[in-house]
């Protein structure tokens, strides 16, 4: 409401909590083959924040068991502004799509800006596909260099260059918090 970014410590805390939830669902095994769950719609509307500091991930309405397509193959499911490049291209989606969305949320919390917006869904999809991302420090100089580097890694278009697990992403944010004396 104040029109300013959330303090980096609070932003980092929220995303650490989100990543703990994602780590849990990504490690959960479903069925005989032991497949994992991909949320597919990680976005701010699906995060609940309590007065006491609890962060909850909700709305598993479009979640899928990894490797098992529900409905039409290549169908878009989720919120376009929080999709990964592979999602908007209709490619197979895995847990790293959820991590990309967590990176978008962290970028937006740090900057108080929308990362991917446009006048049409198609324009937004092109922006997501290209994943051209300005440094968070352009909008918020209070974000440490390490924080900007973590966000950048989370938002690579090539999923092989991103964090490979929620736990890896979470650990990097915990190191950032410790180095800056932020309570977690």
Catalytic positions are: 41
Q: By the 8 A CB rule, do 143 and 110 touch? A: yes
Residue 5 DSSP label: P
Quote the CA–CA distance of 131 and 157 in Å, as a whole number: 5
Cα–Cα dist 184/174, whole Å = 8
DSSP 21-67: HHHHHHH--BTTTTB-EE-S--SGGGEEE-TTS-EEE---TT-EETT
Number of H helices and E strands in the chain, helices first, is 6, 4
Q: Residue 97's closest CA among 54, 173, 15, 39?
A: 39
- Please count the other Cβ atoms lying within 10 Å of the Cβ belonging to residue 37: 20
């Amino acid at each position: 409401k104040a029109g300013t970014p959330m303090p980096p410590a609070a932003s980092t805390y929220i995303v650490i909590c989100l990543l703990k939830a994602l780590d849990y669902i990504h490690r959960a095994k479903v069925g005989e083959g032991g497949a994992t769950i991909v949320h597919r719609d990680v976005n701010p509307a699906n995060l609940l924040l309590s007065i006491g500091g609890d962060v909850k991930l909700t709305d598993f309405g479009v979640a899928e068991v990894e490797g098992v397509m529900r409905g039409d193959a290549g169908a878009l499911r989720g919120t376009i502004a929080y999709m990964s490049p592979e999602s908007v291209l209709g490619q197979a989606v895995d847990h790293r799509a959820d991590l990309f969305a967590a990176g978008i949320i962290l970028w937006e919390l740090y900057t108080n800006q929308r990362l991917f917006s446009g006048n049409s869904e198609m324009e937004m999809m092109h922006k997501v596909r290209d994943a051209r991302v300005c440094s968070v420090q352009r909008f918020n100089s209070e974000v440490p260099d390490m924080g900007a580097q973590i966000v950048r890694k989370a938002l690579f278009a090539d999923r092989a260059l991103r964090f490979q697990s929620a736990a890896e992403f979470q650990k990097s944010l915990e190191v950032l918090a410790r180095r800056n004396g932020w309570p977690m």
